[in-house]
């Protein structure tokens, strides 16, 4: 009898212990934070419905990688910025790429819904829930006690006002928000919403994407001999694998709770500075590639449901016939199939790598200790070609590769266009002329034309100007 009572007490103690462990550790599992008070609008991607394969020139019809891009939007209760409809239009034009839109309702006024497209999922979180998700993810690794959780939560909350770009935890987004990602995701990324996506079918490097842990988007075109290696805050991509996720969590500040509490504060440009230096320099187990994608140096850029294009022709060069020809090229893009990304014409060799920015001749917006760059030694003509920089294997050398740009151009006689993955409105969104762009976005069959960073027009399908913002 006494022995039976002892067994019962042991079983009761074991049950209480399991309840304690579940309460403090199991709360971070996928059946807890997804509570009824979190609004989740799943796209059909999450349920496996409504998915159609989008074709593209130079891309086969075989199954491609599944990409989920995570954007964090903090709703501060103001009117939505004028670029937001443009952003969602460009997302919806890429049905094979999922957007996970994390809307943080800082003012607790309920989240607006911005898209019903099957490739858009919207999750509405209070600021407290947003912080708790990060605590859950980190404490799952650190095995936090209840008091530890409170300390971590309070520190994250205290530092949040300094994280105006939602940068402090960017490299962890696939883990923090993974429960809402399509389980078939093989590549995840981040993005900002002050951007317009181009045509992923033609401009994302599908053919080689699975060979690298990090896929960083470079400016397009770039003409300098020196090139920074970093992941841009407005778009970057990563292999969605346990190994790469573990490597991200091994970033020194995330490696342990004591490190998180004692190491210097994270910079608010961390994805472009300290996180980048970790991926490109400090941790040589990462494989990576940088590829052109952000339209950067241009005189005229064209945005439409067909993608993002640019040319070096200026506004004064745009005659009626030139506009007509450009409009036709943009709305019905046709070019010679460029073939494989890495062609027989490409030239690849080891590059000259610098692991800090003391000798970088361009402008840096972060301390030199976080800079990684290469010197190509290319001639002026070679710098005008498409450029790739990569580490093919863990611990291997960093290589540079040049591919002929001519293979990718759209041509109509003497006119030509190049195409890019996205346009980022970094500076122009603050200008008065930009706030005069049509608030409804781009109508089907119309073209948004931006002349450098000075003004914009809307063209109809024939190239006729039907709206002008004017200059400031």
Query: How would you label 317-343 residue by residue, b for 16+ Cβ within 10 Å and e otherwise?
Result: ebeeebbbbbbebbbebebeebeebee
Question: Of 283, 300, 167, whose CA–CA distance to 236 is shortest?
Answer: 167
pLDDT at 28: 37
CB 177 within 8 A of CB 55: no
pLDDT at 17: 44
Q: Which residues contact 381 (CB under 8 A, 6 or more apart)?
A: none
CB 130 within 8 A of CB 160: no
pLDDT at 9: 54
Question: Of 394, 380, 392, whose CA–CA distance to 351 is shortest?
Answer: 392
- Sign of dihedral through CA atoms 138, 140, 146, 147? negative
CB 300 within 8 A of CB 450: yes
Listed by start position, the domains of the chain span 39-53+61-184+254-264, 298-338+409-468
The CA distance from 55 to 333, in Å, is 13
Question: Of 294, 237, 304, whose CA–CA distance to 89 is shortest?
Answer: 304
pLDDT at 107: 83
pLDDT at 18: 40
Which tens digits make up the pLDDT trace of 163-181?
Answer: 999 999 999 999 999 999 9
pLDDT at 224: 94
CA 145 from centroid of its chain's CA atoms: 34
pLDDT at 243: 98
Matching residue, tokens 């007490």: 9
Q: Give pLDDT < 70 ranges for the chain.
A: 1-37, 39, 44-63
Q: Does the global pTM surpass 0.85?
A: yes
């Amino acid at each position: 009898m006494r022995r039976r009572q002892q067994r019962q007490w042991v079983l009761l103690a074991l049950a209480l212990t399991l309840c304690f462990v579940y309460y403090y550790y199991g709360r971070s599992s996928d059946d807890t934070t997804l509570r009824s008070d979190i609004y989740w609008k799943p796209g059909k991607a999450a349920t496996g419905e409504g998915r159609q394969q989008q074709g593209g020139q130079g891309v086969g019809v075989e199954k491609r990688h599944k990409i989920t891009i995570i954007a964090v939007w903090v709703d501060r209760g103001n009117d939505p910025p004028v670029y937001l409809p443009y952003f969602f239009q460009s997302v919806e034009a890429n049905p094979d790429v999922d957007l996970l839109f994390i809307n943080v309702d800082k003012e607790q006024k309920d989240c607006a819904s911005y898209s019903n497209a099957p490739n858009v999922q919207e999750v509405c979180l209070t600021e407290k829930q947003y912080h708790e998700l990060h605590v859950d993810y980190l404490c799952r690794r650190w095995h936090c006690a209840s008091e530890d959780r409170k300390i971590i939560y309070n520190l994250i909350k205290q530092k949040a006002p300094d994280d105006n770009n939602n940068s402090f935890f960017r490299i962890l987004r696939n883990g923090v928000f993974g429960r809402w990602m399509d389980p078939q995701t093989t590549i995840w990324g981040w993005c900002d919403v002050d951007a317009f996506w181009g045509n992923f079918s033609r401009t994302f490097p599908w053919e080689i994407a699975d060979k690298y842990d990090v896929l960083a988007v470079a400016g397009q075109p770039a003409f300098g001999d020196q090139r920074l290696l970093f992941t841009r805050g407005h778009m970057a991509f990563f292999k969605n694998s346990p190994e790469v996720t573990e490597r991200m969590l091994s970033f020194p500040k995330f490696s342990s709770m004591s490190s998180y509490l004692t190491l210097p504060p994270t910079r608010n440009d961390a994805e472009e500075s300290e996180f980048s230096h970790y991926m490109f320099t400090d941790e040589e187990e990462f494989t990576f590639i940088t590829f052109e994608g952000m339209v950067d140096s241009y005189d005229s850029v064209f945005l439409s449901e067909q993608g993002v294009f640019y040319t070096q022709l200026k506004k004064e060069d745009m005659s009626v016939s030139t506009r007509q020809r450009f409009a036709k090229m943009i709305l019905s893009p046709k070019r010679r199939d460029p073939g494989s990304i890495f062609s027989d014409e490409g030239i690849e060799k080891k590059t000259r790598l610098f692991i800090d920015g003391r000798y970088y001749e361009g402008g840096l917006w972060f301390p030199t200790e976080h800079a990684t760059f290469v010197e190509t030694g290319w001639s002026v003509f070679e710098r005008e070609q498409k450029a790739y920089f990569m580490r093919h294997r863990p611990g291997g050398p960093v290589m540079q590769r040049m591919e002929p740009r001519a293979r990718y151009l759209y041509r109509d006689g003497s006119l030509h266009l190049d195409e890019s993955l996205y346009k980022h409105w970094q500076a122009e969104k603050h200008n008065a002329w930009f706030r005069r762009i049509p608030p409804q976005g781009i109508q089907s069959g119309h073209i948004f034309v931006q002349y450098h960073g000075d003004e914009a027009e809307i063209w109809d399908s024939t190239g006729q100007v039907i709206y002008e913002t004017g200059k400031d």
